[in-house]
Structure 1
Amino acid sequence: MGKEEEVIINRKVVAVGGPQYTSIWEPPSRVPVMDVIIDLSIAYIVYMGDMPEDEVSTFPFHLNMLQKVFDSHTAAGSLLCSYKRSFNGFAARLTKEEAQILSRMEGVVSVFRNRKKKLHTTRSWDFIGFPQKVKRSTVESDIIIGMLDSGIWPESSSFDDKGFGPPPFKWKGTCEVSSNFTCNNKIIGAKHYQTVGDYGKSDFKSPRDSYGHGTHTASTAAGAAVGKASLSGLGHGTARGGVPSARLAVYKVCWPDCYDVDILAAFDDAIADGVDIISLSVGGFDPDNYFTNSIAIGAFHAVRKGILTSVSAGNRGPGLASVANFAPWALSVAASTIDRQFFTNIQLGDQKIYEGISVDIFDLNNRTFPLIYGGDAPNRTKGVDELSSRYCEKDSLDQNLVKGKIVLCDGFSYSFGEEAFRAGAAGAIFQGRLAGEVVDSFPLPATYLSVKHATKIYMYMNSTRNPIASIWKSREEKNRVAPYIPTFSSRGPNPVSPNILKPDLAAPGAQILAAWSPIAPISFVRGDKRREAYNIITGTSMACPHASAAATYVKSFHPTWSPAAIKSSLMTTGKSLIPMEDYLIP
């Protein structure tokens, strides 16, 4: 289905009860994939700039605008959400023609379709020279970080409020207390938003995190120090956030999909609640201007209130102009590596061993399994041929042929090995030109090999009557060439304003150990029964909270500094990194 034309209005407008606004923006010319997907519902966002200066309630005015398009009863039913705390606007269910009518009304800056965005998915702080005993400001506990993500698991040891006093007086937010969720003096506020879409079977209708991502980012930014943390022994050490004394305000906008209407509602609340820093590891790729970008709009109104928004750059690198979040007034964060990497070997029946990469906590105890090539196991009941099954994509493998065997797949599975897992494989081997810093967890024993080594395994399979292999548990080694910018991290230039360079800086985003939701599969694959309190994942989603914490640290010593000053201090004191696009596994 093709993308419908957006309704975009770029003109001088008059805010309701407020001053004029003139457009200063110009139209524009895998790790989890962060594409923007047009929702099939007909939810539109009507953006109207700043709140009126006379502080009148905007809700009746929004309803009145809709009544000029519908009758009174239909107007009330159409209105989904009214933004009325930090900026002016609303969301409503409209036809394309109705959206066009609203876009021509006085005071309307833009009208755009509600899009669906996705989440951009220990040692890192020490590696960047930020030790646990670094000098701390006494006002760090007065700083509040607003986390817009998939929620939080409040019982995690990373969010223990021991030693915390009551929230600072400036805090105006609330906590959605329910039978299965409560806040404390560390997590001082929590809300959830779901205006469109349906709840999943595992979703909590509360700020509680059933996905893991939000818990991970929150603990990276401000988690307490927790000793002996690991993912089943991998990454063993003390897990901690950059500013462990800071407070957290949680705004659950992802289920794991994240809609514009909810992102804007969370910004509206976070700004009014009194947060000091906003951290958002969410994005899409909006190839249009800032008027129709929910994150750009929210960050714009945040910076006008003295609040810096830190956003993930995206995981679509290394192509040019692949950066997802590029608003000039936000801090766009790319990913860099740390001095830790994980290797997962495979041993063949002829005793030869080949080194690959993954985060594999399965221990097969040297047990061997038959090998099969994905191209030799097409799912013909689904009309799949050998040319498709070789890549082990969704529904491509014949379960009767693959079950109980280690399957060799061409290329890399962006579905985290889900198809091999579905087909009952005992393990999986992926191959291709992938930089050595990209490491994933799979729902079954698996490793990623260079084409050179995978070819040798293929030759072994063709020359042996009963080829067998065993996949070893991952081991941890020092990455001596870190830090560098990994290939997956999105690059600039800014696709809307090329003269404004983006991303702004890079922070650790590869193989980061942090707290996890104990009900979420560590591989992101449904059916993976493994549950852990801490997980190791990679992406600019992990880099963003590092930068958010650094910004919080600066603000704790310089509480009167503007967002621009904090952003400048981080950018001008960082170290230069080098791209490592040609760094390959052996």
Structure 2
Amino acid sequence: MMASKISPDPFCLLLLSSLIITCPLLGSSTVSQDDRKSYIVYMGDRPKSELSASSLHLNMLQEVTGSNFSSKSLLHSFKRTFNGFVVKLSEGEVEKLAAMSSVVSVFPNRKKKLHTTRSWDFMGFPQEVQRTTVESNIIVGVLDSGIWPESESFNDAGFGPPPIKWKGSCQVSSNFSCNNKIIGAKYYRSDGIFYQSDVKSPRDSNGHGTHTASTAAGGSVSMASLYGLAMGTARGGVPSARIAVYKVCWSDGCWDADILAAFDDAIADGVDIISISIGFPEPRDYFNDSIAIGAFHAIKYGILTSNSGGNEGPGLATISNISPWSLSVAASTIDRKFLTKVLLGNNKTYEGVSINTFDLQNVMYPLIYGGDAPNITGNFNSSYSRFCFLNSLDPALVKGKIVLCDALGSGREPFFAGAAGVVMQDEGAKDVAKSFPLPFSYLGTREGGNILSYMNSTSNYL
């Protein structure tokens, strides 16, 4: 039986295309029987009274709502760094609350519209900011995986020749050349070992360097998106600045020797600022850290190094670039999320995190638990298949179905086994959305457990 012809029975699942929801994101709420809607009540600084913020907020609500008061209407209290709360209110109650002297503002808990490369908007740096001619003399040195020069972010229309202070060069090859926007480009590989996926030029082969360069100094590109997702204007912080590329990262990583060589060149070439989104999983002693050493010498020449804090968060003490003479920038701090809805046959919906560019066109597919589909001929049992490890799934059992896995993986095994989609669940942080080779949603263990319980309680399978 073909999956596309399966009727929407209780034991089916649908992955909808990705959505972008902007903060504050406090979970979806069902529409109540009255006319109350969710609002944000902002009250400025943290309260100085002995009364806890939650108690203060409840007292305020009781005063406004009177006999209609319900503590369940208070959805969340902000109390760690500022004062406010999220609450369900009627229009009349909103007016009463807004009139209180302690309230700064009351506004609807809205879903924002789609945007792209939103970092600068999120920081309050508007697109309409007035630029000066000085900006085109700024040279940003980017140490990363290279750059894709044909990207519209690096169009040099309207740019004159490089600033006189520039002393660098461009390693031109058959597949790479510079322009008046990308004024310099070099690549480094101290051991001379290149792998099949490596491109022996400053050209970017994985996209990371192109992304960081465009975020720092990319030109304004309207209607940018990923297959329609996050539609908006992509731009850098200093879109009129020049870019000098130093490719130090390859398919096997970024080596210290190459990083130090790039720092040495960038300083001598005359860059004004260095951007490097590279680091170890944990901090190193300054004298054993190529980035700390390079940044120290750069600052001696008046060149600030802006580096990534690290990718090991959001836990405490996870910043890896900590030298006091450089600027460490946090990753993944943004007011939006990429969500993919999971709809069960009983009409219950769960929202997982993923960049899902697939459209299943409202077709319902059967769902199977990875632990129930072990590749026995390959000597795998359910202890392996439940995690959807490589070669652990039986293609005959999962083909055309959506597989529920008990850990976040790359999605390759379900893909190669012929699955129609994947739902993965674990306790990991859901602060970063990733893309996968097939329809995908990444849920917490609570949501995943609810789905598994539903599967176990339903006998109608196909």
State the TM-score, normalized to the length of structure 1: 0.56
Kindly indicate whether the alpha-carbon contact (under 8 Å) linking 2:284 and 2:320 is maintained by their aligned counterparts in 1.
no
Alignment correspondent of 2:229: 234
Alignment correspondent of 1:9: none
2:160 aligns to what SS in structure 1?
coil
Alignment pair present for 1:462 and 2:459 = no
Alignment correspondent of 2:106: none
1:288 deviates by 4.2
Kindly indicate whether the alpha-carbon contact (under 8 Å) linking 2:135 and 2:238 is maintained by their aligned counterparts in 1.
yes
Pick one of 184, 190, 206 that aligns with 2:185.
190
Alignment correspondent of 1:167: 162
Pick one of 438, 449, 452 that aligns with 1:444.
438
Kindly indicate whether the alpha-carbon contact (under 8 Å) linking 1:426 and 1:445 is maintained by their aligned counterparts in 2.
yes
- Equivalent runs, 1:273-312 vs 2, <5 Å: 273-285=269-281, 288-312=284-308
CA–CA distance in 2 between the matches of 1:240 and 1:288? 33
1:466 deviates by 5.1
1:434 deviates by 4.3
Alignment correspondent of 2:427: 433
Kindly indicate whether the alpha-carbon contact (under 8 Å) linking 1:412 and 1:430 is maintained by their aligned counterparts in 2.
yes
CA–CA distance in 2 between the matches of 1:134 and 1:209? 30
Deviations 1:550-586 (A, max 9, x none): xxxxxxxxxxxxxxxxxxxxxxxxxxxxxxxxxxxxx
2:250 aligns to what SS in structure 1?
coil
Alignment correspondent of 1:339: 335
- Equivalent runs, 1:313-328 vs 2, <5 Å: 313-328=309-324
Deviations 1:383-408 (A, max 9, x none): 43322221223343333332322110
CA–CA distance in 2 between the matches of 1:423 and 1:263? 40
CA–CA distance in 2 between the matches of 1:273 and 1:210? 24
1:231 deviates by 0.8
Q: Which amino acid aligns with 2:449?
A: T
1:339 deviates by 2.6
CA–CA distance in 2 between the matches of 1:194 and 1:327? 25
Kindly indicate whether the alpha-carbon contact (under 8 Å) linking 1:151 and 1:251 is maintained by their aligned counterparts in 2.
yes
Alignment correspondent of 2:265: 269
Deviations 1:34-91 (A, max 9, x none): xxxxxxxxxxxxxxxxxxxxxxxxxxxxxxxxxxxxxxxxxxxxxxxxxxxxxxxxxx
Alignment correspondent of 2:371: 375
Gaps of 5+ in 1: 1-121, 469-586
Q: Which amino acid aligns with 1:202?
A: S
Alignment correspondent of 2:120: 125
CA–CA distance in 2 between the matches of 1:330 and 1:439? 28
CA–CA distance in 2 between the matches of 1:263 and 1:281? 11
Kindly indicate whether the alpha-carbon contact (under 8 Å) linking 1:286 and 1:293 is maintained by their aligned counterparts in 2.
no
CA–CA distance in 1 between the matches of 2:312 and 2:151? 31
Alignment correspondent of 1:486: none
Identical pairs, percent: 66
Q: Which amino acid aligns with 1:410?
A: D
CA–CA distance in 1 between the matches of 2:359 and 2:431? 22
Deviations 1:422-475 (A, max 9, x none): 33321110123345533221111001223232222212322334547xxxxxxx
- Equivalent runs, 1:20-99 vs 2, <5 Å: none
1:163 deviates by 0.8
Q: Rate the CA distance shift 1:288–1:222 in 2: closer, same or farther, 3 A.
A: closer
Deviations 1:299-357 (A, max 9, x none): 11111111111111111124443221112211111135323222211122333322222
Q: Which is worse superposed, 176-185 or 459-468?
A: 459-468
Alignment correspondent of 1:8: none
Q: Which is worse superposed, 173-182 or 399-408?
A: 399-408
Q: Rate the CA distance shift 1:312–1:394 in 2: closer, same or farther, 3 A.
A: farther
CA–CA distance in 1 between the matches of 2:288 and 2:446? 46
Q: Rate the CA distance shift 1:148–1:288 in 2: closer, same or farther, 3 A.
A: closer
Q: Rate the CA distance shift 1:395–1:327 in 2: closer, same or farther, 3 A.
A: farther
Pick one of 418, 428, 444 that aligns with 1:424.
418
CA–CA distance in 2 between the matches of 1:186 and 1:287? 34
Alignment pair present for 1:148 and 2:143 = yes
Alignment pair present for 1:410 and 2:401 = no
- Equivalent runs, 1:178-257 vs 2, <5 Å: 178-196=173-191, 198-256=193-251, 257=253
Pick one of 356, 360, 384 that aligns with 1:360.
356
CA–CA distance in 2 between the matches of 1:215 and 1:464? 48
Q: Which amino acid aligns with 2:447?
A: H
- RMSD over aligned Cα atoms: 1.9
Alignment correspondent of 1:401: 397
CA–CA distance in 1 between the matches of 2:293 and 2:240? 30
CA–CA distance in 2 between the matches of 1:341 and 1:288? 32
Q: Rate the CA distance shift 1:381–1:345 in 2: closer, same or farther, 3 A.
A: same
Deviations 1:126-171 (A, max 9, x none): 2211111113232111110010111111011110001110000111
Q: Which amino acid aligns with 1:429?
A: V
Q: Which amino acid aligns with 1:302?
A: A
Q: Which amino acid aligns with 1:207?
A: P
CA–CA distance in 2 between the matches of 1:243 and 1:324? 26
Alignment correspondent of 2:24: none
Q: Which amino acid aligns with 1:330?
A: S
Kindly indicate whether the alpha-carbon contact (under 8 Å) linking 2:332 and 2:431 is maintained by their aligned counterparts in 1.
no
Q: Which amino acid aligns with 2:187?
A: H
State the TM-score, normalized to the length of structure 2: 0.71
1:359 deviates by 1.2
Alignment correspondent of 2:79: none
2:244 aligns to what SS in structure 1?
strand
CA–CA distance in 1 between the matches of 2:290 and 2:398? 45
1:421 deviates by 2.3
Kindly indicate whether the alpha-carbon contact (under 8 Å) linking 2:341 and 2:441 is maintained by their aligned counterparts in 1.
yes
CA–CA distance in 2 between the matches of 1:467 and 1:148? 53
CA–CA distance in 1 between the matches of 2:234 and 2:282? 35
Q: How many residues align?
A: 345
- Equivalent runs, 1:469-508 vs 2, <5 Å: none
1:287 deviates by 5.4
2:186 aligns to what SS in structure 1?
strand
CA radius of gyration, larger in: 2
